[in-house]
A and B are shown apart, each in its own frame.
Chain A
Amino acid sequence: TQLLEQSPQFLSIQEGENLTVYCNSSSVFSSLQWYRQEPGEGPVLLVTVVTGGEVKKLKRLTFQFGDARKDSSLHITAAQPGDTGLYLCAGAQIQGAQKLVFGQGTRLTINP
């Protein structure tokens, strides 16, 4: 059973377009993290959200944590080819310190 459902799994769009990736769960998380992974490398942390309703911005990336702390979204504005990669959401369960539950990932391709 996948605790975190991430969608879409694959997304290919043109440079300059906007996109949103969703991460949903029926479980409550104490925090949720978004990572980006390049081929042959480990995931690199983009952001951590901890408060229900929290919105964080990182240049053209906007991250939102749901009010109930069960879901999150990543919105990219004016996507660029450099945004291409595997985006992963990961939830920290309240009872499990240091134990992250990952979504399946969204493989994003930005075409020039």
Chain B
Amino acid sequence: KAGVTQTPRYLIKTRGQQVTLSCSPISGHRSVSWYQQTPGQGLQFLFEYFSETQRNKGNFPGRFSGRQFSNSRSEMNVSTLELGDSALYLCASSFRLAGGGTDTQYFGPGTRLTVL
């Protein structure tokens, strides 16, 4: 079974631009979560999508948004990029148990975003 895939793997943008990152979960997984990883802050939760609905959200400004499609693929968008947005953006998918709770999350390789 193929793992979580993320595209692109590397991206360079300038301040003020916007960017869209893509994540394809493991086949059969319906939950997709996004995380930002930086040397200073570590891994921080951005948001989670399940069945095309945002179910959880972290403490990030509204410039960070996402969506999920009917095939469970997810996109994350960052508008008006700032230098501090430079980070590794990780996507994780899970089967998500019907009763909620936390199932095992499988991470993709990430997208390395550099903002100049």
Contact = CB atoms under 8 A, between A and B. Distances in A.
A103 B37 CA distance: 11
A97 B107 contact: no
Contacts of A97: 48, 55-56, 96, 100-102
A42 B107 contact: yes
B12 to A, nearest CB: 16
Q: Most chain-B CB neighbours within 10 Å: which of A31, A44, A92, A100?
A: A100
Interface string A26-41: 0000110101000011
Interface in A17-62: 30-31, 33, 35, 40-45, 48
Interface string B35-47: 1000000111100
Q: Most chain-B CB neighbours within 10 Å: which of A41, A90, A98?
A: A98
A108 interface: no
A102 interface: yes
A90 B43 contact: yes
Contacts of A100: 33, 35, 43, 45, 102, 105
Provide the main secondary structure of the chain B interface.
strand
Given A30-B101, A98-B94, A42 B56 contact: no
B4 A102 contact: no
A45 to B, nearest CB: 6
A105 B90 contact: no
A101 interface: yes
B106 A99 contact: no
B43 A88 contact: yes
A96 interface: yes
Contact of B102 (A44, A98, A105): A98
A112 to B, nearest CB: 27
Nearest to A101: B45
The 8 A-B pairs at the shortest CB distance, nearest first, are namely: A42-B107, A92-B102, A102-B43, A97-B100, A98-B48, A104-B42, A99-B56, A43-B107
Given A42-B4, A90-B43, 11 more contacts: A30-B101, A33-B104, A40-B109, A42-B110, A43-B90, A98-B31, A98-B96, A99-B58, A100-B102, A104-B42, A105-B42
